[in-house]
Each structure stands twice: as C-alpha cells, then as structure tokens.
Copies of this chain bind each other. A is one copy, B any other.
Amino acid sequence: MSGKLSNKFYMEKKNIRIKDIAQLAGVSSGTVDRVLHNRGKVSEEALRKVLQTLKEIDYKPNLIARTLGTKKTFRIAVLIPDPSQDEYWAQSEVGIKQAINDWHQYDVQIKTYFFDLYHKDSFLRVTHAVLQARPDGIVIAPIFYHEALPFLQQCQSYKIPFTIFNTDIREVRPLSFIGQNLYESGRVAAELMCLGHQKTGTLAVLHINEDSVNSIHLLDKQRGFQQYIKEKDLTGVKIKVLNIKDSENGKEVKRILELLEDETLQGVYVTTSKGVSFIAALLQKLNRVDLRLIGYDLLPENIKYLEAGTIRFLINQNAKHQTFLGIQQLANYLFLRKEPLAHNFLPLEIITRENLCSYLRSAVPHF
C-alpha cells in the first residue's frame, strides 16, 4: 500500500477472504465457514473468536467463488399460460427465453410449463407435474387464483421458494412479487384521458375478453380510473362501464356499437391488453378517430393502431420484463443467495406514438 503512490487507486484494499478471517481469529478456514453458515459443530470458544473478528472487519463473501465452489445445479420451473393463445403471454415467453440464455451456462436449468389460458384443469395438471418434478424454485403467473393458492401453499410446505408475477396473491408470501399497481394504472389512464379535454361528456371503461378471475384485478384499474375523475370533481363527466366477455359474440359487439354511437362519448379506456385493438378497428371503421382511446401493452396489433394514431396511449405492462425479472430474482436467490425485494412494482410506462420506438429499441437488460 505504501510503495504504490503513483497508482491513483492504491487506497483500495483487496477484499477480505475467509482465509484472512481464519488467520485473524486463529482458527482454520473450515471453522470460519461453519460459523458463517451456522452449520453447527463449532465450540463456544471458536465461535466467539470468529464472531469477534467478523465484527471488527467488513467481510463480503466473493459470490463468484462461492458459486464455483458449490457444484449444485438448480432447476427452476416457470408456469405461464400458453403463449400461442395470447400475444401478451407470447411476450412473457420472450423473457423466459432470455433468462434461459443467460443462465444456461451456470447449471441453472429453466423449464417452462404452459397451461391453457381458459381452462383451470389444465393449470391443475401442470401444477401437479411441477410438484412431481420437485424443482428448486418456481416462477409463476398465478392467473387462476383459487387453483394457484393451494398449489403455492403446497410449495411453501415443501420449502420450494417461488416468485410471483403479473397477478398478486396476498395470502401467500412469495420470495418476491413483480407487477404493477393496478389502481394507480387506472389513475394514470384517467389522467391521460382528461388531459386537455372538456369537462363534460361520457367516458367508457371496457373490460374485454377476460375471465372473471382476472376481473377482480381489472376492477382495481376501474376503481383508480373512477377515483381520479371523482377527485377532479368532474361532475359533468359520466362513466360507462362495459363488461365484454366475448368480442366475437354478435350481441356483445352490438353493445359496443351502441356505446360508440353515443354522441357525448369522449374517450374509451380498455383495461385488457387484447381488447384495445378490437375497439381501434371499430373506431377506424366508424371514422370516430377523434375519440381518445387508451389501452395496454406493446402487442403487435396495438402498436399498429398506436402508430396510426387510433390508439392515443398504451400503458406498458411489460410482460417480458416482468417474467425476466421474476426468473432473475429467483435464480439470483438460489445461486448467489441475493434476497430480492418482496415487492417490485414496475413503473407505469406511458407509450405514445412518438416515444414508441425508443421503447421498442431498448431491450431487457442482459447481465
């Protein structure tokens, strides 16, 4: 340290190793290791000495060496709906693929399990298969609440750590949850809807093509939307809520058309990622592109209408990032013992025609 004054960085000392601690404490490195991981079998005396030196210095283990030392290979199961059924989940799968790519070389094996987006029994089958496989960790989008709950409780009793994304389940304590605050999401939509608009007229909230299971969550968005309007004291503004189970169904389409014919209608907020392009198509046909249309996610169809100007705003839920992060956190936990944050609420990204390509360009970070 004294002889290298020409080196601007000389003040940085090398990290302390287990060996150093052992030396300072007057024990062997094996004993230090046992203390660090309290694997027992350490005498009072040795324990005291090691803890003492540990207190005096700031030991940060070399995670890389640790990783190399433990030859254990981890197996992670990822459960999401079948990507071929839904563009949103197709994006999620992209995140999985990226994570697989990142971790492949380190004996972290990631296996994907798809279940049918519309059939709970398919989900149940998959969860059974996962439990059979006894993975070291699980990453899951628990969109079927009632079926997911017992499964996750089972995981807990098996001591299999899991991270949850997309849909929160409050009853279980996951290693971490990754998602967005849906209430705030609704508020953001309302804010964008009202910006520069007149203080009268009708706004519509549409829940399209979603299972009733999910609608619990969609109600959060709706609440946020309504609450914002209420707070702004926009008493001249009426909010119509429509629940469209099946946009292919003629009767349902008729309800939508009726809504769109409303002369006082100012804007439409679609709470589901797959619903908004359907409305956009209708608006184009009806030549009502003056309406302010707000929806979710950078799905190919949605992007098309955003670029065309029919959709004004998309709030990005970033399924790719959510999924990637979920796996990343679990793998880091297993592999490097890094505890993730319990709750990771991703930012509510506002996408417009003009900032769209800045988002399309920027990939999920690789590490």
Contacts and interface: CB of A to CB of B under 8 A. Distances in A.
Contacts of A109: 9, 12
**Copies held by the complex:** 2
Given A181-B358, A352-B192, A357-B184, A63 B105 contact: yes
Given A64-B106, A349-B349, A362-B344, A191 B8 contact: no
Contact of A105 (B15, B68, B192, B350): B15
Contact of A352 (B14, B106, B188): B188
Contacts of A332: 367
Interface in A180-224: 180-181, 184, 187-188, 190-192, 195-197
Interface string A343-367: 0111111101111011101100111
A165 interface: no
Contacts of A361: 345, 347
Nearest to A321: B365
A173 interface: no
Contacts of A73: 14
A362 B228 CA distance: 23
A133 interface: yes
Interface in A313-364: 325, 328, 332, 338, 344-350, 352-355, 357-359, 361-362
16 contacts: A8-B129, A9-B111, A9-B133, A60-B104, A61-B105, A63-B105, A64-B67, A68-B68, A181-B358, A191-B352, A192-B352, A344-B362, A345-B361, A348-B355, A348-B359, A350-B350
